[in-house]
Structure formats: C-alpha cells, structure tokens
Amino acid sequence: MVRAGLTVDRIVQAAAELADEVGLDNVTLSALARGFGVKDASLYSHVRNLADLRTRLCVQAAREMTDRIGAAVAGRAGKDALLAFADAFRGYALEHPGRYAAGQLQVDPAVAAESVGHRRSIELTYGMLRAYGLREPDLTDAGRLLRSTFHGYADLETRTGFSHPRRLDDSWRRSLEALHFLLENWPRTTQPEPRGTRDPRPGRAAAPAVGCGTADGGHRAEGGGCGAEGGGCGAEHIEHIRDEEQTGE
C-alpha cells in the first residue's frame, strides 16, 4: 500500500539532502525510511531498489548542476564563459558534495539519453569551447581536459586533498587562467576526424561527428556565447560522446 504523502520526488529529494549530509555511500533505503517514519517496504512502492534511487539521484544532480552552469554562462563567451562555467561547477561540488558524487555515477545509456541534465552538460561545454574556434576532434579533447581539471580539483578539495598553505581560491584562479591561455593557443589537429570512423572496440562503430546548431558546425548563440537559447548539439554527437564517457574510454 502506498503511504500517503510519499512520492518519488520527495524520496529523491530526501536522499539528495542526506547524501550531502552524510555522504552518498551512507544513503540507504533504511535510513530514508527512518527519516520518513515509515517501514522500508513503504519506499518500494516508489523506487525499485537502491540502484534505482541512485540513478534518480544522478539524473537530479545533473539537472541541478547544469541549471546552475547554464545560468552562470548565459550571455558570456570566451574567458568570461570559462570562468563562470568553472566557478559554477566547483561551487555546486563544494556546496552539494553528496549530490555531486551521485552526478558522477555511471548510468544506463538509455537513461542518460533521456536525461536533460546529461544532454545539456554536453551542449554547454561544446558551446563554450566553440567560442575559442575549436572544431572536432579538438572539441572532444578540450572537453575532456576541462572535465578532468574541474572534477579533479573539486574532488581533491572536497576530500581535503590539498595540504599546502597557499589559498585554494588563488590556485583555482591561476589554473583557470592557464586553461584560458591553452584554449586560445590550442594546437590544432592537421586533419579533421573522419566521419563514421570505426571504433576500435569490438562490435562498435563510432558515430559521425555531427556539428551543432549551424551548418558549419558552429553553436548558434547571440554573440557566440553559451546562453540557453543557443543551438543544441546534434543528437548523434551527444550519443557518441556520452557513450565514450559511460564506457570509460
């Protein structure tokens, strides 16, 4: 029997708050049931199991984070967009460590394909990088560099992995200055990645490199910025990049 007042949204939100408080690994259905004052079985009318709950947490975290990033970069381009994007990313990770950890979970590709947050993350990243004049395969390479830098810094910071007395904000700002310099002076590849290049993994084929928004592969946004009104990335390209990240390439 469904407990009055319990909904999927309430359960996921409670799980998100608990994850921020005690850590994602300590979020269990039993702990949530105690918080609601119900038996564990009452939650199973809304979520299938812990794995289902964690997937829903991942989707919610992706949406929340990209909402913050999207608002931060709207109307900006180049260095201004990079700094706003990075600060929003780091801010969410520090303010919501449990949700951020959930957002890094691998989910079923079919779930990711329907997740607004997962899709928008790619759109925002590629829109920002196109303002630096990057095209494929440089877009993918630069996107991976940014993700590695932002995630690595935020993850170490939340785990108190930096022990040197220099202020973390100062090192962060210098890191972003270095990234901006690198993106402005990105070593361009001599030839574009061939369309339909075969994926070296057995039984897989790489999706074609589909441009975003405009015929020349540009990102359609006012002034070349990363506003939400800008054209989104082609679906095939999104699927290709997401598939690579899901499989850990």
Report all structural domains of the chain as residue ranges with CATH numbers, in order of start: 57-185 (1.10.357.10)
Q: Tens digits of per-residue pLDDT, 197-233?
A: 443 333 333 332 222 222 233 333 333 333 333 333 3
70 pLDDT above the threshold of 70: yes
Distance CA 66, CA 79 (A): 19
Q: Tens digits of per-residue pLDDT, 134-176?
A: 999 999 999 999 999 999 999 999 988 899 999 999 999 999 9
**C-alpha to C-alpha distances, 193 to 17, 138, 141, 212, 214, nearest whole angstrom:** 43, 9, 12, 16, 19
Q: Can you tell me which residue has the tokens 């990243």?
A: 125
Q: Which two tokens stand for residue 122?
A: 């790619």
DSSP calls for 148-217: HHHHHHHHHHHTT---SSS-HHHHHHHHHHHHHHHHHT----SSPPPTTPPPSSTT--PPP----SSTTS
Length of the chain: 249
Query: Would the pTM count as exceeding 0.85?
Result: no
Q: Which two tokens stand for residue 1?
A: 């029997």
Residue that wins the pLDDT comparison between 195 and 245: 195
